[in-house]
């Protein structure tokens, strides 16, 4: 096998970092253990990532990007939210639960939480939630005067909280309750 370089080497390192994180958690992961698992050296890792934190962030972002969820476009706010949140609840719920456990040491060390991690996932891009809300405003399904950033994020925040509290995928019935009884009454024109 020839010497790995560029994207191939980087992918091997990030996969090794994810595997180490999954098996050992952040507190017990070391740059040395990742280098050994990836079949490379610590200096190779340090040329790409300044420290363990940056390496772990890159590995988590890579893993997150491997399971993209495209926001649904059903033609209605309710349909878009239920379809998107159901998919997220089934695919991302377990991932977020796993991350909360694996990254406990990271969150303590960096004094951050999922809000900052979400910014890494988005990397300056708009979220799928933004697209759903924008389309709903254009269709007249949301009163923009009633929409604050916290309210716009609410269905997604409630989904994450449910996944972390139950440690299970979030089912459609929970998603429908979040959408129908919590979110829609807050944003519909006239509170309908």
Give the three-class secondary structure for 41.
coil
User: Mean pLDDT in each 10-residue stretch from start to end of the chain (192 residues)?
Assistant: 80 96 94 96 96 94 83 97 93 78 89 83 76 95 93 92 86 96 94 56
Query: CA 50 to CA 56: how far, in whole Å?
Result: 11
pTM for the full predicted model: 0.78
Q: What is the pLDDT at residue 192?
A: 53
Q: What is the pLDDT at residue 2?
A: 62
- Return left, alpha or beta for 173; rule: phi > 0 is left, psi -120 to 50 is alpha, else beta: alpha
Spatial contact of 39 and 80, defined as CB atoms under 8 Å apart: no
Query: pLDDT of 47-73, one tens digit each?
Result: 999 999 999 999 998 988 887 788 999
151 contacts: CB under 8 Å, gap ≥ 6: 183, 186, 187
Q: What is the pLDDT at residue 186?
A: 95
């Amino acid at each position: 096998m020839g010497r790995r370089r560029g994207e191939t080497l980087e992918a091997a390192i990030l996969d090794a970092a994810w595997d180490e994180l999954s098996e050992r958690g952040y507190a017990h992961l070391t740059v040395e253990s990742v280098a050994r698992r990836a079949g490379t050296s610590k200096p190779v890792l340090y040329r790409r990532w300044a420290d363990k934190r940056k390496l772990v962030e890159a590995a988590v972002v890579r893993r997150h990007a491997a399971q993209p969820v495209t926001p649904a476009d059903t033609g209605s706010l309710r349909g878009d939210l239920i379809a998107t949140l159901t998919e997220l609840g089934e695919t991302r719920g377990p991932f977020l639960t796993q991350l909360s456990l694996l990254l406990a040491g990271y969150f303590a060390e960096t004094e951050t939480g999922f809000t900052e991690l979400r910014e890494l996932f988005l990397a300056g891009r708009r979220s799928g939630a933004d697209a759903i809300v924008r389309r709903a405003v254009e269709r007249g399904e949301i009163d923009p005067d009633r929409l604050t950033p916290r309210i716009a994020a609410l269905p997604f925040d409630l989904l994450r909280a449910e996944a972390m509290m139950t440690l299970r995928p979030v089912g459609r019935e929970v998603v429908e309750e979040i959408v129908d009884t919590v979110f829609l009454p807050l944003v519909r024109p006239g509170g309908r």
